Structure 1
């Protein structure tokens, strides 16, 4: 796996003087290098690895990112671990960083300030103790994206070009950063449940992230349709075009069965399609996975 650092460090600047299209090193960034990192990731359904030497032309700072699909499907938004190469190839960072494109589009000239504030907030949620990790990175580039990646860095480890890690060291570091990533995944406090045990709290947070993941919800709705499975309401029947294809997806799997750090999704059987009212009511049941009980309640009280 060491060649994913060594080869770009040695060859990238020379290759930049060659044609971008059909270039073998550019192709390795898109395919071979990400595939090598994927081999050390256990849950290949939840995580995906994307590499980029640029789009249409060489970028100054090529990268390889590991995305948790519960957080983001694209490196343009969210946060994720990423291997970020300096523009002069004097080294590479393993950085827990933020997608910058979405922030730039939304905050314009204030984007760097927003990224720095978010990075400080993320760091406050991590317990990293005394390590050789750095809060500031220098990519030696004046490009817009590079400057924003510098601002978006949460924590990073630097590998100098003359002191690159061996395969085992790099593998160990990537797994450590995935653990930091996991800790941030469970740091969401935007809901009120406060279970007694931390393990259960993590399960609930994973449950919430799966349920709220828009990509998963879209696939569930496409498969199961848009009629509430508890009360049979269809928003289009009541609201016309305004309610067309509107419904909510509820994750049925009990939190006690969710493995920390893993999930497998069965779009047809793991979810219920519910109207807003039934979705709220099923969360009030002692067992929010008991769709049949909710159906009985609806039927009993139907007038």
Structure 2
């Protein structure tokens, strides 16, 4: 995939502006976006004769070209060499808040987040996300549709896990809630999103769910938390390797 265009960094930049209280200096924006999105491949390579990577240069260009200013989403404060979010910028962020939160806060890998941000860079493109939800979660009013959609995905995934594995055991440590807690644990497992799960507005949800299940995995609560402790997240295989090493050396 080609190097990011500036338009594809608009929502992530507004997210960081808002997270920083509405203002952020250019150098801090570069660090924040790099740490959060952890670009890889060509995006992460240094430009010949420069201290900037292709990604950091694109962020720098976003500011120097006044991209956000021209769209009325932020004002460049020259004296502070930084950006101040505007009311319009805040409104644009709020309109896409659930989607950008999902992409920025779940520690998905760069290769998985990038296509979604590319899609979102087109104002005419809308995507519906499927959030990771847990047993006992309830949908907040503004998230009711997302919750219902995500629960359908979760339920379909559990049915598939039972069909494929014969039981709901953690893919990493093999912990099984029903074996440990009896009926209280029956049907209980957390469902991990290996990649962002979303669909374009108007797409067939049933087909999307059928495809999405391939990128889901059953995990216990402990292993799930470990997966998401790093950015980008550990893979299931990496956590399984860590788990097996500890099991091997433990008395």
Q: TM-score range by the shorter chain?
A: 0.3 to 0.5
Query: TM-score, length-normalised on structure 2?
Result: 0.38
Structure of larger gyration radius: 1
Q: Which has the higher helix share?
A: 2
Query: TM-score, length-normalised on structure 1?
Result: 0.32
